[in-house]
Chains A and B, each alone.
Chain A
Amino acid sequence: MLELKNISFSVSEKKEEIGILKNVNLTIEDGKFIVITGPNGGGKSTLAKVIAGIEKPTEGQILWNGEDITQWSVTDRAKAGISYAFQQPVRFKGITVFDLIQLATGNRITVEEACRYLAEVGLCAKDYVRREVNASLSGGELKRIEIATVMARATKLTVFDEPEAGIDLWSFQKLIGVFEKLHEVNNGSILIISHQERILNIADEIVMIADGQITARGRKEDILPDILEKTASCSCQYYKEPAGLE
């Protein structure tokens, strides 16, 4: 179980404190499937990074199975069973897809095993397993490889940051299967950041984050109308409602 207690994260820019997360409280129980959604720039990815240890919160506490991990390194959290699939996956010159999957599993694996993970995210494994994770991969390919690596880790908690971005429709269906499987196997908890209604549909709970705060949470039926209302308005003086909505 992951517990975020009064998490705040701010950065200072030109002597000014900018609050990016403000007093976030969230508990993810074992085996739960939670989707975080909300407007761009709301703080979703920042929250994911705080969970993975990539950013340290300026205030608040993170508990993992009751233990305070707030000061733990990224490595220690990974070893303790937290995985994070990046919104923008990283490219590496010279590291192959196979290398990355093998590192993720933490074991020596065979090419066949690596291929199985790739097949699950809809990549024709033979074509990809020896390729470098470099700039020659398309955005969607890279994204799927990222998902395959966190799947290979099969940890207790997996955070996916907009996994659907850039993924074609056919693969999308497979993706849903991936989440369901991770969920079933070892009763893992899943936290997905997403804007996709089809992903919202399968969540146990939806959490809405806007302006660094949790503004709503609950089941889809209760949340969705609220979301549509919030994302449609903007206080910026230059923003114009799209024609036809006025």
Chain B
Amino acid sequence: MDQVGAKLLEEIAGLHEIPEGAYNIRENGKSVGRSSTEEIEIIPKDNGKGIDIHIKPGTKNKSVHIPVIISQSGLKEVVYNDFYIGEDCDVTIVAGCGIHNGGKDSSQHDGIHSFFVGKNAHIKYVEKHYGSGDGNGERIMNPETIINLGEGSFMEMDTVQIKGVDSTIRKTSAVLEKDAKLVVMERLMTHGKQKAESYFHVELNGDGSGANVVSRSVAKESSYQKFVSDLEGNAACSGHTECDAIIMDEAKISAVPQLEANHPDAALIHEAAIGKIAGEQIIKLMTLGLTEEEAEAKIVDGFLQ
């Protein structure tokens, strides 16, 4: 792997070297490193368009890394990764995609991730998107996450896209059975002419299920963001979704809440707030000696922490 690849890998997965445990590293459309363990088996799909990841029931405190990097301008791919997570597992899955585009053609990665989470399993899913390169070619990522949460299971999903992705359409859908819980934290920053759209659809089908979908975003310059969150309560469940956005310059943001309660004991809440950085926050930091620009940068950084 060259320096560009190594840099991308570090940005999206915090990896400096070959990760511990199970991993699959995909570079420019091909797997360049793969390792299974006793408990976590990674099997490539026959058509070469993705992998199946099987995690044995009861696997605890283990991690799987499946980063994707693209440095070849003009490469477009659709990849299917399916996760089968056994009962009672407690695992961390780190995915993510970095595109370096130094050329004039657009590069695109559409990762479709399906999760089948067994009873009482706990998973943390971390996904980071990053783009770099000074070519005119666009960097496009359209991730799709399909989540099936079995009884009593818990999934925490953390997605970050802070820099360099020109266009994103993210779709996340989840179905929750009895007592399953889903917590999603999406962090997003767009600038220049970037566009990012994020759609959530969560079906709370089991009694005692709960979902919390939170998006924090900053839209700068003439970028555009759209956040659509749709919670469907089909049982005695609780759902909360929140979109909190800072708008700057000439950016545009649209937040579309949707709640559907199909059961009398479904409790659903939606909160959405879009606004500029509060003037008093900037002033407070200026009284500590920061310039206006430094104050703004600090506030944005903190907000997206």
Interface residues of A (CB under 8 A from B): 52, 54, 73-75, 78-79, 83-84, 86, 89-90, 92-96, 99-100, 103-104, 106, 149, 153
Contact = CB atoms under 8 A, between A and B. Distances in A.
B264 interface: no
B285 A103 contact: yes
Interface string B263-286: 000000000000000101101111
A93 B288 contact: no
Interface in B280-305: 280-281, 283-292, 298-299, 301-305
A94 B305 contact: yes
Nearest to A49: B283
A162 to B, nearest CB: 16
Contacts of B299: 92, 95
B290 A75 contact: yes
B244 interface: yes
Interface of B, secondary structure class, is helix
19 contacts: A54-B283, A74-B286, A75-B291, A84-B287, A90-B278, A90-B280, A90-B281, A90-B284, A93-B303, A95-B299, A95-B302, A96-B302, A99-B298, A99-B302, A103-B288, A103-B290, A103-B298, A104-B288, A149-B288
Contacts of A149: 288
B278 to A, nearest CB: 7
B302 to A, nearest CB: 3
Given A90-B281, A92-B281, A74 B302 contact: no
Contacts of B288: 78, 100, 103-104, 106, 149, 153
B246 to A, nearest CB: 9
Size bracket of the B interface:
20 to 34
Contact of B292 (A75, A90, A95): A75
Contacts, number: 57
A89 B299 CA distance: 15
Contacts of A153: 288-289
A136 to B, nearest CB: 15
Interface of B: 216, 244, 278, 280-281, 283-292, 298-299, 301-305
Query: By DSSP majority rule, is chain A's interface helix, strand, loop, or mixed?
Result: mixed
A78 B289 contact: yes
Contacts of B216: 93-94
Nearest to A88: B280
B61 to A, nearest CB: 24
A94 B302 contact: yes
Contact of B302 (A75, A79, A92): A92
A79 B298 CA distance: 18
Given A90-B278, A90-B280, A92-B281, A52 B302 contact: no
B184 to A, nearest CB: 17
A94 to B, nearest CB: 3
A74 B281 CA distance: 13
Contacts of B289: 75, 78-79, 103, 106, 153
Given A75-B292, A93-B244, 6 more contacts: A78-B288, A92-B299, A94-B304, A95-B298, A103-B288, A149-B288
